[in-house]
Amino acid sequence: MAAQAKKRVLSGITATGRLHIGNYIGAISQWVDNQAVYENLLFVADLHALTIPQAVAGQDLRARVEEIFALYLACGIDPEQSTLFVQSDIVEHAELGWIMTCTTPVSWLERMTQFKTKGKIADVDTGVGAGLLCYPALQAADILLYDPDLVPVGEDQKQHVEITRDIAKRFNTLFGDTFKIPDVVIRQAGGRIMGLDDPTAKMSKSTAERAPGHAIGLLDPLDKARKSIMRAVTDSNSGVDFATELAPGVTNLLTIFECFTGTSRDQSAARFDGAGYGKLKSDVADAVIGRLTEIQQRYREITDDRDQLNKLLTQGAERARSIAGPKLAQAYRATGLRS
């Protein structure tokens, strides 16, 4: 029997800040777990980081991008099994992004929740950049350039992949069948790790930049990580009582524990029911710090070998370009820009 081709998966993380355990649980660890099953194309979305220019002004964005790339490797992504690349290294993203911006009705873009929420925190004097509005058109290009079968995302990103499907269908109707319509896969476990300082808000890179104690960074000093977990918001009770509704902060700590140790909620209940919050936090801290120690050790080895890191950046970009280049050419022909 002929071997079935692996399904192609495309996924990425925006370089809006330093990676945290939410990004690890919700995205990177799942890529690692699936890398033998799928053909993974994984990228660092640096062009998207410019959608809020105030957030990156004055920073060495390329250094942050390469930190994220090295962290993908340090977390266990195998560059022989997966294609890893940086978005701005592949100019086809920006080129197809323009075509998709022209294909997408403004009314679709204005409906995006992320535009509405992030637009509110943009600089009041200069207003919102057009890039924040057009972000989903570039994201559609990021995806459609590679003809993926599946795009796994957290619940909050679902709307952006749905608009990608709509943009692809609209392009195909206007210019002829060009793009494959990918399926959205919504991740379940650990899909939304919440802030340690505020368990009603999603742990996020940009909040972590201004709120110490909000997130655990993958490269945070280990004693700082432990302190942030020990200070995590729970509720005014003294311990875990599974017979009552658990506070969001307690549920969040349990989810983090389960994701880092591979245990189930039933196993957590057996371990923590009746335990004080001190014991819960201390066990969560041990589990997180055990994994961070491995990741940070591997990260140091990777970044110490600069030549090898540059080689992997080049190799990944070449592989990505070999798929994106012909697809862009096809889109140029479909629009009539090329014959």
Binding site for ligand AQP (CB under 6 A): 13-14, 16-17, 22-23, 25-27, 45, 153-154, 156-157, 190-193, 202-206
Closest separation between CB of residue 87 and ligand AQP, Å?
A: 11
How far apart, in Å, do the first and last CA atoms of the chain sit? Answer: 40
> What is the residue whose two structure tokens read 């592989």?
319
Catalytic, 180? Answer: no
Of 158, 205, 224, 311, the catalytic one is: 205
Nearer to ligand AQP, 31 or 331 (CB): 31
By beta-carbon distance, which residue lies closest to ligand AQP?
26
Nearer to ligand AQP, 191 or 331 (CB): 191
> What is the residue whose two structure tokens read 């069948």?
177
Nearer to ligand AQP, 167 or 203 (CB): 203
> What is the residue whose two structure tokens read 């060495």?
60
CB-count exposure of residue 182 (10 Å: 0-12, 13-18, 19+): buried
Nearer to ligand AQP, 53 or 325 (CB): 53
Closest separation between CB of residue 206 and ligand AQP, Å?
A: 3
Closest separation between CB of residue 3 and ligand AQP, Å?
A: 29
Closest separation between CB of residue 195 and ligand AQP, Å?
A: 8
Token representation of residue 139: 């994201």
Contact 40, 12 (CB under 8 A): no
Nearer to ligand AQP, 40 or 334 (CB): 40
**What is the spatial distance between Cα 115 and Cα 155, in angstroms, rounded to a whole number?**
16
Name residue 14's beta-bridge partners: 45
Contact 104, 170 (CB under 8 A): yes
Contact 61, 67 (CB under 8 A): no
**What is the spatial distance between Cα 50 and Cα 16, in angstroms, rounded to a whole number?**
8
Catalytic, 202? Answer: yes
Catalytic, 311? Answer: no
Closest separation between CB of residue 176 and ligand AQP, Å?
A: 31
Nearer to ligand AQP, 183 or 305 (CB): 183
Of 118, 158, 227, 311, the catalytic one is: 118
Of 116, 202, 227, 327, the catalytic one is: 202
DSSP E strand boundaries for 154-251: 183-186
Closest separation between CB of residue 209 and ligand AQP, Å?
A: 8
DSSP E strand boundaries for the chain: 8-14, 39-45, 83-86, 150-153, 183-186
Contact 218, 227 (CB under 8 A): no
Q: Which residues are catalytic?
A: 118, 202, 205
